[in-house]
């Protein structure tokens, strides 16, 4: 990385070394700008981030469409494509975890974090700025993915406000998971280990959920796991907001599935609070 990515220094700390909330936000935005500029200079990161979800859309839509029964719609290929997209959207935002983990691990390995330490800035701003940048990248990926989804037959049926609410829930979930990635990136020694650590647990999390098949199709002992999965709440909430649930669909009789939007928000906020606290503490110990 060249020094021009850090040309804009954070504002000087107030007298006495006390960092205000306003300066913390400013520092975070400066770090976010640095990471966004880096992403623009390495567009492959965005391109490769798009390839996997697009492949999932095409493969699941045309390979599994019409072969998986959806409650209220049966073996309808078009119904499954609409049912599918909520899961693909949610999976895509959670996979940003691996990018956040690898980026922070790389900065630690190259000594960029040590350079930040020498600047008069809030300690937590380094991580917050990184998560802001990852959130912006995730938003761009969601836009492109929505265009691809339209091409394979996905539609929004409940109007633009509900759609914006659905995308808001997706971005909130994605932001929550970047904090998990931040903790992973601070806990390993190499970007390669961070990438593996950021992905290996995501596959069971996303597949043991209502993302790709209804929980009713799973073994009885696995259904509660899928229904209480934080990922499932967001998937079901965005399907409802997009209007992608079949007319006769009945959600499982458990609280997260009966109140998916509220459950999605609560799960995401809880993840942010827990993993931001752990990541900032880990960062302070690692750079102390």
What residues make up the domain containing 275?
A: 19-287
Q: Residue 8 falls within a domain, yes or no?
A: no
Count the Cβ atoms, other than its own, within 10 Å of residue 110.
12
List all residues 6 or more positions away from 121 whose beta carbon is below 8 Å from its beta carbon. Answer: 10, 13, 19, 23, 27, 30
List all residues 6 or more positions away from 55 whose beta carbon is below 8 Å from its beta carbon. Answer: none
Q: Which of 97, 104, 131 shows the shortest CA–CA distance to 190? A: 104
Q: Residue 14 falls within a domain, yes or no?
A: no
pLDDT tens, position by position, for the chain (288 residues)?
A: 444 444 444 444 444 456 677 778 888 888 888 888 877 787 777 777 778 788 888 887 777 766 666 766 556 667 778 888 899 999 999 988 888 888 888 888 877 777 776 777 777 788 888 899 899 989 988 998 999 888 888 889 988 999 999 999 999 999 999 999 999 998 988 888 888 887 889 988 999 999 888 888 889 899 999 999 999 999 999 999 999 887 777 888 999 999 999 999 999 999 999 999 999 888 887 665
What pLDDT is recorded for position 62?
77
Element at 146 (helix H, strand E) = helix 125-151
Q: Are 242 and 166 in contact (CB under 8 A)?
A: yes
Name the pTM for this structure.
0.85
User: Max alpha carbon distance in the chain (Å)?
Assistant: 67
Element at 195 (helix H, strand E) = helix 191-199
Q: Residue 9 falls within a domain, yes or no?
A: no
Q: Residue 4 falls within a domain, yes or no?
A: no
Distance in angstroms (rounded) separating the CA atoms of residues 175 and 170: 9
Which long-range CB contacts under 8 A does 44-48 form with residues at least 24 apart? 45/99, 45/137, 46/137, 46/140, 46/141
Structural domains counted in the chain: 1
Q: Residue 165 falls within a domain, yes or no?
A: yes
In terms of C-beta density within 10 A (0-12 exposed, 13-18 middle, 19 or more buried), how is residue 279 classed? buried
Q: Residue 49 falls within a domain, yes or no?
A: yes
Q: Residue 143 falls within a domain, yes or no?
A: yes
Q: Residue 24 falls within a domain, yes or no?
A: yes
Exposure string of 143-153, with b = 16+ CB inside 10 Å and e = fewer, is ebbbebbeebe
């Amino acid at each position: 990385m060249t020094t021009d990515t850090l040309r804009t220094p954070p504002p000087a700390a107030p007298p006495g070394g006390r960092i205000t909330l306003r300066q913390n936000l400013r520092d975070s935005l400066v770090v976010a700008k640095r990471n966004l500029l880096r992403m623009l200079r390495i567009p492959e990161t965005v391109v490769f981030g798009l390839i996997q979800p697009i492949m999932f859309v095409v493969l699941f839509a045309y390979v599994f469409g019409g072969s998986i029964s959806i409650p209220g719609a049966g073996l309808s290929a078009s119904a499954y494509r609409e049912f599918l997209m909520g899961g693909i959207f949610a999976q895509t935002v959670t996979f940003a975890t691996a990018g956040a983990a690898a980026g922070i691990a790389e900065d630690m390995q190259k000594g960029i974090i040590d350079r930040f330490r020498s600047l008069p800035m809030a300690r937590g701003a380094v991580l917050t700025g990184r998560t802001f940048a990852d959130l912006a990248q995730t938003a761009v990926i969601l836009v492109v993915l929505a265009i691809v989804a339209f091409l394979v037959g996905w539609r929004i049926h409940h109007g633009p406000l509900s759609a914006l609410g659905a995308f808001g829930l997706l971005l909130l979930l994605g932001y929550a998971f970047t904090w998990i990635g931040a903790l992973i990136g601070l806990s390993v020694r190499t970007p390669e280990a961070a990438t593996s650590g950021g992905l290996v647990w995501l596959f069971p999390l996303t597949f043991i959920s209502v993302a790709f098949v209804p929980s009713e199709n799973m073994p009885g002992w696995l259904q509660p796991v899928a229904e209480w999965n934080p990922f499932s709440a967001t998937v079901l909430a965005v399907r409802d907001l997009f209007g992608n649930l079949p007319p006769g669909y009945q959600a499982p009789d458990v609280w997260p599935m009966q109140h998916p939007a509220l459950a999605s928000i609560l799960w995401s906020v809880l993840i942010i609070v827990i993993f931001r606290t752990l990541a900032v503490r880990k960062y302070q110990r690692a750079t102390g």
